[in-house]
Every structure is written in C-alpha cells, then in structure tokens.
Structure 1
Amino acid sequence: MSPLLFSHFTATSCLGHGLDATLAALRARRGGLVPCAFSDIRLDTYIGEVGRVDETVLHAEHAEFDCRNNRLAQLGLEQDGFAERVREAAARFGPHRIGVFLGTSTAGILQTELAYRRRDPGTGALPADFHYRGSHSPYSLPEFVRSYFGLRGPAVSISSACSSGAKVFVSARRMLEAGLIDAAVVGGVDSLCHTTLYGFNSLELVSGLPCRPYDAQRNGISIGEGAAFGLLERLPAASAARTGEDILLLGIGESSDAHHMSAPHPQGLGARMAMAQALASAGLAPAQIDYVNLHGTATRSNDAAEGRAMLDLLPSVPCSSTKGATGHTLGAAGAIEAVICALALRHGLMPAGINTTEPDPELPLDYLLENREQPVRRVLSNAFGFGGSNCSLLFGRADSPA
C-alpha cells in the first residue's frame, strides 16, 4: 500500500488528558487503574476512569448528543490543538472532502441505562428527554464529531468489538485511495457503563486486581474508557523533505478467523494472518519491526493465542501491552494504542508493560518489564476483537529508509 500521513493525533485516557500526560505516565511506568467506584456498580475490580468527563458540557448546538460518550469525545477533541488542525484541513480541502471514521463498542448506552431508571411507572415509557439517536446509537459518535466540525464528508461508525478503533484506519484508507476524500478524522471513543462492567464480569473475564498482561498469574481484564483521534492524509509529493517528527501509516492487516463468538483461535491463526498481512502490505520483513504493541488483554486465552502468533512470526521483537496502564478501553483501544505507537516512534520509547512481574514461561517473548529508550523506526499495533475480528496497523517514522 502507499503510505499515508498520520499528521496529527491526540489521546485521553485514565493516564491523563492529551499527549504530554500520556507520555509522562508511560515514561514513569505509572498506570491509571483504580478500584471501581463508578456509578452504583458493586464489583471487586479495577477500572480506568477518565477525569472531568462529568464536568464537560457539550456546546449548546450539540445538546441532542449529550451523553457520557460524546462528552468524553469532546474532551478528547479539545486536547493538543487537534480540533484546530481538523478545521485547518477542512479549510484547505473543503468540509465535504473530510471523512469521519470512528470506532466504539457501546457508544452512549449509559444514557439508556439511566433512562430506563426513569421510565413512567404506569406505561413504562422512556423519559421525553431521552434521545436514542444522539446517544445510544453507534452512529451518534461520528454524527456528533461531524457536526462538531461542520464536516460534510462521509461518516462511518465501526463497531467490531475490540478491533473497532484500529479498523477505522482501514476504512479511511480505502476512501482516500478511491479519491472520495482528501483527509480523514479517525479514532475511537468508549466510556464506562453498567453493560460492559457487568457483562464482562458475567463472562468471568474481570480481574480483582489491576490487569497483568502476559503474566503467568494473569486472571482477567481491567475495563477502561478513553478517546483518541488522528488525522490521516495522503502523503504530500514533497515527502522526501519531511522529518522524523512525521508518522506514517505503512501497512494494515485484517482477518476474521470466526473461531468462536468470544474466544480467539487457540493457536492465534487470525492474529498471525493480520500481522503477516500488515507486513506484506508495507513490504517489510519481521526483522525490520522494532516494537509491537500487543493487544494483551490479560485473559488466559487471549494472551496465549496472540503470544503463539507472535512466537511464530515475530519471536524476537520487543513487545508489551499498555493495557496494564490504561485498562482495556474496548472500542477505543486500537486508536489509543495507535497514538501510543506514534509517541514511541516520535520519542524513541518502547513502553514497559506495567503490573506484569512474572512473564508467562509458555510465551517466551521479549516482553518489556522496563522501558527501553532508543531509536524506534517501525512499530506494529495489534487490536483483536470478539468473533475473530482482527486488525494490525504498521506505523513508521517518515525519515526511516524504505
């Protein structure tokens, strides 16, 4: 594939608001997971809750979109000057030439949960101020962001479980290569709600400790929330003049092994296919990858499946899962981790996987327990979802040799 410019990006999670806070936390090996005290949920688990979401107020013209998910989206959009960059692109290309491609798993479902508590006791009718389209609908997120910027290009919601925030890059790339748009806002937003916390608990996948990806004693995930956005553009003709500050999307890989509704293929077949396709689409060999940001959810089966795929394809490449720091942000995870990979490239940082103390001896990877600070040229980011919906993204520095 032809490289695309990942020109601007931002991330907000329990690590903090924006790039500086995220980078500082990664460098300090400081996580953001805390004991669950969200709403009236009573679960013995840790979560990654973003601060100031409840205090965020949507602009008056967007009141119909009010819900925790879209408030989190607005909070994320207003970090790192990202909103200004999108408006500059809209002025340069025209608002009808900017697409919006965003991933989410539950969108504003919390708003529905709260609305059901206020049903009319006689009729069961939901309250009149509940707006399904602007909150619970998966499309509410891209529709809100499109409205926020006054864009008129195509807008798409991707909801493919935990690969959603990565697959948006794939959809955007197709429309860019088809000439339908000149730039794309990509990203993902997912927010805490009763459905995901109690749902994953019912699957016996939630840990009572901060999650420990790839640890021999790992026993489940820690659910987080977050918002990450990026601007994806065609590479300008004067690409040779660009510097290492610029990040390129070099390759993508997708697969759907459809092994099971909620369990991955035990040998990591789909994960391997996605990683191999990303390498092939970039024209790169495994030895040319400096770091892999693993999907690494900290469940027994998911880490084992991904680890086996890594041992088969990229056995000696340094790797880690940053979900020990952020929690598993579900539909936003692929986007947040893409931004973490961009920070790794820009700042020469391979972040350690925190909370992990005893790497699983059955998965003998070069799993990072300490940060490594050295030049990083190319990185792979994995996002694998329920039902075998897999996506790998390959990023690189613009000043790295082909």
Structure 2
Amino acid sequence: MPARIAPLAITACTATCAAGRGSQAIARALETRAGGLIANSFSTQPLDCRIGRVAGLEQLSLPDALASFDSRNHRLAWLGLTQDGFLERAHALRERHGAARVALVLGTSTSSIGETERAYRELDAQGRLSSAQSRPQVHQPHALGLFVAHALGLAGPNLTIATACSSSAKVFASAERLLRLGLADAAIVGGVDTLCDSVLFGFNSLELVSNEECRPFDANRRGLSLGEAAGFAILERMPQSGKVEKDTPLLIGYGESSDAHHMSAPHPQGLGAERALDDALARAGISAAQVDYINLHGTASRQNDEVEAALIARRFPASTRASSTKGWSGHTLGAAGILEAAITLIALERGFAPGTLNTRELDPACGPQIRIDNSEANLRIALSNSFGFGGNNCCLAFARADTA
C-alpha cells in the first residue's frame, strides 16, 4: 500500500458546464435539480441524442493576445478561467511564487480536435490546410496546456494528461508529486473537453449513446449523454502552522490504476477501480467507513454502472451517500474528473449530497449507498471516481479543513 501523503490546500476552484457557468450556478442547478441536457443541436450530421452543450461559445471571442489559439476548446477554457475570480487568483499565485515555480497540469481527451475537423473540411483544391488553419499550436494534443500557459503567463512544468475519461482527475495526482518532489511551489490543475463530431459519432459507433437524457444506475438505462466542460483548481502546500481557513477544502489522497482489461469495457469485478480506491484510502489514511459521500463515475452505460455499483455495495456501509451527477452535465470525457471534483467540493462546502438526476428505478446491483434524491448532510470526507477507457482509473479523496 502507498504511504500517506501530506494534505494539499485547494485555494481556488471553478467549473463551467451545461448546468451553469461557475460554482454558484452549478450549485443552484444541483439544489434545484435543473439539468443542462438538451436535444442534440451540434453535430454536422443528424444524431438523435441529448447533449450537455455550453451555450454561447460560438459568439465568444478570445482576447487579441490569444486569438491565434482560437478553437471551441480554448474558448471554453477561457470562459472557465474567467469564472469565480479564478483568473485573478491565478495571476496572484504567479506573482507570489514566480512564473517558473507554478506547475500547470491539465487533462483533456480530444484537445482541439473539433477545430482540426473543421480545418480538414476546408482543405483547398490541392488538399492543403488554409493559411488560417496552419496553426501547430492548435492542432496537437498539448494545445490546451500551451494555451493556458500563454493565457496565465506561466513558465513552469506544463503537463497534459490524456487518459480518456480519467484525465482531469489524474491531474491532482501528478500535481501532488510535483509539489512533493520540490519541482514546483504551487500547481494549477484542470481540464477542458468540448463536443465534436469525433466524440459524438465515435461513442455512437460503440452503441453507448442514448437517445434520451442519461439515467445513471437506472435499471432501464440506455446509455450516456455526452457533454462539455472546463474546470480549474489551485493546489498549494499547507502552511507550516498546519492551519488554513476553515472553508478551504483539502486534497488528502488519490489512487490510480491501469488494469488494461479491455479497450473500452471495465474489468468485470472492478479490480482496477478497487485498486484505485484502496490506494486513495491508504494515501488519505482513512477507512471506507469514514467516507460520507462519493461522486461516482456513473455514465449510464450498462456495464460500467453495474461494475461500479457492485464495488460500492461491497466496500462501503449503508450510511455512505453516493450518486452520479452526469444527469446534470452529461459525460464530459477528459473534463469529467475536474468537473466532478468541483461538484464534490461544492457538496463538502454546502453540506449537501446531490442525488442522481433522471434516474427513476435503481438497478438491482445498487446497494443502499446510491441515492436518487438530494439530501442535506454533514459531509466531512468525500471521494470522486473517474474511470477511463483502457482501464485508466482514478479515485480522489477530499476533506474539509476542520476534519483533516
């Protein structure tokens, strides 16, 4: 088992998705059970499904200094950076530590592939990219990291994590290691993914996309709804006094695994997911019985939900609350980890456990932990699960400062 880690303070956090722009808007959507899924209005060819689309990205313009990075993904990244005062907090962090001592660790599944799709639809008669699309800083997997580093004026370690749907959960783990090894004094973590044809038709080809709003853990679920999101957080070491503001949440543990069972299906007994869970608990120095809430991966796909439900049922007491919040946002792929981490922090801050939106009848594999309805609760310790294709699993452990 891994050794316990020193907690890290999460001194800023923000998220933007179909359910709302910024933490306050998302919190209101959760509390009022106002989901953001709508009929597909995005794909270039008809596809009957529901999506979690962030409105207004088509009309958004990047600042002139960032215009060469223009893409849907970077527009959403900029929109996310400007919520909850995060941009100002990031600039203050840079001034405090120096641009070279702030690490940037971001997760994305598809980067700016939507823009690359558009570039290839607009090839000239000789099959060449137009001059406007000859932008290597956009048409590459590390585009998001380059964009955010440029936007924030950062010059420290800059990593892109691309492990499918666990990408922006694993950023917390990589950032903790960079700080523990002294390679940075603070870290900005996050993730952004946007809708594009490759995502919509790719998942549809796997027969995973539902033609109705996704219903995680429902006995009659039909598949997932795809969405888009941006989220960011600042991680800093605890002060020598060990004391932080009482409303400052902490990262207390993480677990990662790669079971490589199948390209898209989870291990049938959830062994990789369970290994990630065990490592997160060990690094946090807690037992499963101490966990008050779990934000589940819960995509509403048949096999994934069944495996995760069985894992939660056998490892946690009935008093633990668990839910999937993808009914509000859709599955935001490489941004799911940071979005659901932000939602988990909202739950800790507000003493509020979200339920599972759109779900009407729980699958028999579910134990009493998985809840449909919202509930008020004194939440002290919470987990967030993110599981990706290829068996890339990550579990994050958070706590209120007064608990840790």
Task: Tell me what 1:304 maps to.
Answer: 306
Alignment of 1:332-351 (within 5 A): 332-351=335-354
Q: CA deviation at 1:315?
A: 4.7
Pick one of 83, 90, 103 that aligns with 1:86. Answer: 90
Does the Cα contact within 8 Å between 2:11 and 2:249 map onto a contact in 1?
A: yes
Task: Tell me what 1:389 maps to.
Answer: 392
Letter in 2 for 1:352: G
Does the Cα contact within 8 Å between 2:107 and 2:335 map onto a contact in 1?
A: yes
Task: Tell me what 1:125 maps to.
Answer: 128
Counterpart-to-counterpart distance in 1, 2:366 and 2:195:
31
Q: CA deviation at 1:111?
A: 0.8
2:34 paired with 1:34: no
Does the Cα contact within 8 Å between 1:272 and 1:310 map onto a contact in 2?
A: no
Letter in 2 for 1:277: D
3-state DSSP of counterpart to 1:279: helix
Counterpart-to-counterpart distance in 1, 2:237 and 2:140:
31
Counterpart-to-counterpart distance in 2, 1:114 and 1:228:
25
Letter in 1 for 2:266: P
3-state DSSP of counterpart to 1:381: strand
Task: Tell me what 1:16 maps to.
Answer: 20
State the 4+ residue runs in structure 1 displaced beyond 4 angstroms: none
Can you list the C-alpha shifts for 1:235-289, whole angstroms capped at 9, x where unaligned? 112333x343110000000011110011100111111111111001111011100
Task: Tell me what 1:43 maps to.
Answer: 47
Alignment of 1:253-272 (within 5 A): 253-272=255-274
Counterpart-to-counterpart distance in 2, 1:214 and 1:244:
35
2:141 paired with 1:142: no
2:358 paired with 1:327: no
Does the Cα contact within 8 Å between 1:48 and 1:225 map onto a contact in 2?
A: yes
2:375 paired with 1:372: yes
Alignment of 1:286-305 (within 5 A): 286-305=288-307
Question: Given the two structures, how large is their TM-score scaled by the length of structure 2?
Answer: 0.97
2:83 paired with 1:113: no
3-state DSSP of counterpart to 2:147: helix
Gap regions ≥5 residues in structure 2:
none
Letter in 2 for 1:136: H
Does the Cα contact within 8 Å between 2:312 and 2:367 map onto a contact in 1?
A: no
Q: CA deviation at 1:83?
A: 0.6
Does the Cα contact within 8 Å between 1:66 and 1:134 map onto a contact in 2?
A: no
Can you list the C-alpha shifts for 1:20-62, whole angstroms capped at 9, x where unaligned? 1000000001110000011423111000000121121111122
Letter in 1 for 2:312: M
Q: CA deviation at 1:340?
A: 0.4
3-state DSSP of counterpart to 2:141: coil
Task: Tell me what 2:186 maps to.
Answer: 183
Q: CA deviation at 1:64?
A: 1.9
Counterpart-to-counterpart distance in 2, 1:255 and 1:390:
5
Counterpart-to-counterpart distance in 2, 1:364 and 1:132:
50
3-state DSSP of counterpart to 2:93: helix
Does the Cα contact within 8 Å between 2:185 and 2:236 map onto a contact in 1?
A: yes
Does the Cα contact within 8 Å between 2:69 and 2:137 map onto a contact in 1?
A: yes
3-state DSSP of counterpart to 1:5: strand
2:9 paired with 1:5: yes
Gap regions ≥5 residues in structure 1:
none
Does the Cα contact within 8 Å between 2:316 and 2:369 map onto a contact in 1?
A: no
Between the two proteins, what is the percent identity of the paired residues? Answer: 51
Can you list the C-alpha shifts for 1:77-118, whole angstroms capped at 9, x where unaligned? 000000100111111111111011000011111111111111
Task: Tell me what 1:251 maps to.
Answer: 253
Letter in 2 for 1:38: F
Letter in 2 for 1:251: G
Task: Tell me what 1:63 maps to.
Answer: 67
Does the Cα contact within 8 Å between 2:43 and 2:200 map onto a contact in 1?
A: no
Counterpart-to-counterpart distance in 2, 1:312 and 1:364:
8
3-state DSSP of counterpart to 2:184: coil
Counterpart-to-counterpart distance in 2, 1:36 and 1:4:
40
Can you list the C-alpha shifts for 1:297-337, whole angstroms capped at 9, x where unaligned? 00001111111221222252210000011100000000000
Counterpart-to-counterpart distance in 1, 2:134 and 2:95:
32
Alignment of 1:270-289 (within 5 A): 270-289=272-291
Letter in 2 for 1:276: D
Counterpart-to-counterpart distance in 2, 1:164 and 1:136:
19
3-state DSSP of counterpart to 1:129: helix
Does the Cα contact within 8 Å between 2:68 and 2:135 map onto a contact in 1?
A: no
Letter in 1 for 2:157: P
Question: Given the two structures, how large is their TM-score scaled by the length of structure 1?
Answer: 0.97
Does the Cα contact within 8 Å between 2:247 and 2:400 map onto a contact in 1?
A: yes
Counterpart-to-counterpart distance in 2, 1:335 and 1:297:
15
